[in-house]
């Protein structure tokens, strides 16, 4: 690509930065891109970063489509301007800010604090890296109007991000997210108040840790099991991230005595030197922890992502070998355990509920129904789970929520997924199972025996850059305009299109509205119980395909046999849809 071939809008955006009040180093990098790397110039300026399911997220670098001092400053200034419009009479606007281990996180957090403080906000800034769920807790504790978490979650090391929160400790949903973007789009570099006001910034730290961990302790539903199995062996790794301090601390508070660490991964490092990707969904990320677990004969392995809001686990299977559970399986075991214990303790009064996302296993709804607990479906993203909690506050009791991408939330004092609380309750569930001479895998198998073997899988197709985004959009259009009639020899009986808000029952020839916000998601349900969901990722250059199939599990001994049968069924579905 030559300079002449660069889109005029890209050149206009880049030249704005060359003419504007940006620092000399930034301008020098832009000039170099213009002369020597026009492809990267396009990627850096072809759009503005926007809030998706996880907020603002992008590669660190110069440009409107990158995470840098100016995009962070503009996002904060736009957010501050919007909050002043929403709360015109509020003289004491408040914001909480936290950050993770990623490169530039400390700097971006300070810039965010400076801009808020310069706009007259009272700012509560954590004195060191902290998990995302603790930021949500701090917003609620200090009755803040907003909060920001500097993190790119599980993305590769070249990324960072900016998660924006509302006054309930949840990430922003419409209309606030879109309205903030509108405000951000108005911001010129000269409008950003970068000069912080120190007296408006209060540093916070261990006192909030203690309050947050104390709330998690209250979630325990079987402390006696831990007393009897306090020596159960647990391996934990933070994957170089923020869980390094608080997760071992909460496990110790719960009463666990044998917590084994992966010391090489305890070092906080935004380059994630021991893993290709700091994503607990990736088996490779847990390899070192699995090796440790085999050496010490541990029952459970837990690994959290850089901002400690998601957790991946491994447990001993029926042959006593360590195997990974996927996010649907962990959610199944965790929520079954909680509902069972609430039932045993007589805590279920008839107004309790759980929440899952539309791409998460339908097994959770089946389990909830057994216990007489209501189940809500929401769009992908815990901000939608928090929205249901907000609407039901004071009327119904939220027990837990989960999504297939390894995020879970127990209780409502935090309004985002919480790996700190999840690790504590997963470990407690393992202790309860051990009291009954079982493992978490045994509990999962028991659930499958009762409800059927639900098997889920995910296929992510990555399409990077501007052309990739266009390809993803084309794929969605093709499936939407030409939906399959038969998938793997089974008739498609229901189509749900969340973009049009319509659910079509093809057997009855009926159409009804979907009572959820519009979203670019398609779902196909077939006569044999297969469920296929597809959606572009809101945080990564991917289109994701979710598959759910099911069958009967006659006996525990047939677990591997049925599992393999369902694996082949998913492979056949993928082949039939021509995704590979």
> Which residue numbers are catalytic?
153
Structure tokens at 515: 């009572």
Determine the 3-state secondary structure of 494 from DSSP. strand
The alpha-helical segments, DSSP class H, found in 325-439 are 327-344, 363-370, 382-392, 419-435
Round to whole Å and give the CA distance between 37 and 31: 10
CA nearest to 138, candidates 47, 46, 212: 212
Contact present, 130 and 148 (Cβ < 8 Å): no
Tokens 């009762």: give the residue: 450
Phi and psi, residue 221, nearest 5°: -115, -5
Could you count the other beta carbons within 10 Å of the beta carbon of residue 28? Answer: 12
Phi and psi, residue 454, nearest 5°: -95, 125
Round to whole Å and give the CA distance between 71 and 22: 11
Contact present, 507 and 499 (Cβ < 8 Å): no
Peptide bond into 442 cis (omega under 30): no
- In sequence order, which residues have a C-beta less than 8 Å from that of residue 287 and are 6 or more positions away? none
Contact present, 413 and 398 (Cβ < 8 Å): no
Contact present, 493 and 505 (Cβ < 8 Å): yes
Task: Give the Cα-Cα-Cα angle 185, 187, 191 (nearest 5 degrees).
Answer: 175
Determine the 3-state secondary structure of 534 from DSSP. strand
The alpha-helical segments, DSSP class H, found in 436-580 are 440-451, 465-481, 559-576
Round to whole Å and give the CA distance between 268 and 353: 37
CA atoms within a 13 Å half-sphere pointing along the CA-CB vector of 566: 23
Round to whole Å and give the CA distance between 547 and 572: 11
Tokens 């189940």: give the residue: 375
């Amino acid at each position: 690509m030559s300079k002449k071939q660069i889109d005029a809008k890209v050149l206009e955006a880049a030249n704005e930065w060359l003419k504007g009040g940006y620092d000399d180093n930034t301008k020098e990098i832009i000039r170099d891109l213009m002369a020597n790397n026009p492809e990267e110039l396009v990627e850096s300026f072809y759009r503005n970063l926007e809030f998706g399911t996880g907020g603002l997220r992008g590669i660190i670098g110069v440009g409107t489509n990158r995470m840098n001092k100016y995009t962070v400053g503009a996002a904060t200034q736009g957010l501050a301007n919007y909050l002043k419009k929403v709360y015109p009479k509020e003289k004491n606007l408040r914001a909480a800010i936290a950050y993770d281990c990623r490169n530039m996180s400390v700097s971006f957090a300070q810039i965010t604090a400076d801009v808020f403080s310069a706009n007259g906000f009272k700012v509560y800034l954590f004195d060191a890296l902290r998990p995302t769920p603790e930021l949500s807790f701090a917003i609620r504790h200090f009755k803040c109007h907003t909060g920001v978490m500097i993190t790119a979650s599980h993305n590769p090391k070249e990324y960072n991000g900016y998660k924006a929160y509302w006054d309930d400790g949840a990430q922003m949903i419409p209309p606030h997210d879109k309205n903030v973007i509108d405000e951000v789009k108005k911001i010129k570099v000269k409008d950003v108040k970068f000069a912080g006001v120190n007296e408006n910034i209060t540093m916070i730290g261990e006192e909030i840790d203690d309050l947050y961990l104390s709330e998690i302790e209250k979630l325990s539903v079987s402390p006696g099991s831990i007393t009897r199995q306090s020596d159960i062996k647990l391996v934990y790794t933070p994957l170089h991230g923020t869980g390094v301090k608080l997760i071992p601390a909460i496990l110790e508070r719960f009463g666990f005595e044998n917590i084994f660490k992966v010391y090489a991964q305890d070092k906080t490092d935004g380059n994630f030197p021991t893993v290709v990707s700091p994503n607990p969904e990736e088996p490779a990320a847990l390899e070192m922890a699995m090796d440790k677990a085999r050496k010490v004969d541990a029952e459970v392995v837990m690994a959290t992502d850089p901002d400690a809001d998601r957790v991946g686990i491994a447990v001993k299977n029926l042959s006593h070998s360590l195997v990974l559970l996927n996010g649907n399986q962990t959610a199944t075991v965790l929520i079954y355990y909680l509902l069972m214990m609430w039932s045993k303790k007589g805590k279920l009064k008839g107004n309790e509920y759980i929440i899952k996302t539309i791409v998460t296993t339908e097994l959770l709804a089946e389990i909830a129904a057994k216990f007489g607990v209501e189940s809500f479906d929401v769009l992908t993203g815990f901000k939608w789970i928090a929205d249901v909690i907000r609407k039901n506050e004071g009327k119904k009791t939220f027990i837990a929520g989960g999504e297939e991408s390894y995020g879970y939330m127990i209780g409502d004092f935090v309004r985002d997924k919480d790996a700190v609380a999840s690790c504590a309750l997963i470990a407690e569930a393992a202790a309860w199972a051990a009291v009954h001479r079982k493992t978490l895998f045994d509990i999962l198998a028991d659930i499958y025996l009762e409800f059927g073997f639900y098997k889920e899988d995910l296929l992510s197709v990555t399409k990077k850059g501007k052309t990739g985004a266009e390809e993803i959009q084309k794929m969605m259009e093709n499936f939407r305009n030409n939906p399959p009639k038969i998938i793997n020899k089974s008739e498609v009986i229901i189509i749900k299109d969340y973009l049009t808000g319509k659910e079509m029952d093809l057997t009855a020839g009926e159409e009804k509205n979907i009572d959820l916000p519009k979203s670019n998601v398609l779902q196909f349900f077939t006569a044999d119980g297969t469920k296929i969901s597809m959606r572009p990722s809101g945080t990564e250059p991917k289109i994701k395909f979710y598959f759910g199939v099911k069958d009967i599990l006659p006996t525990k001994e047939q677990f591997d046999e049925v599992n393999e049968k369902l694996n082949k069924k998913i492979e056949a579905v993928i082949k039939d849809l021509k995704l590979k």
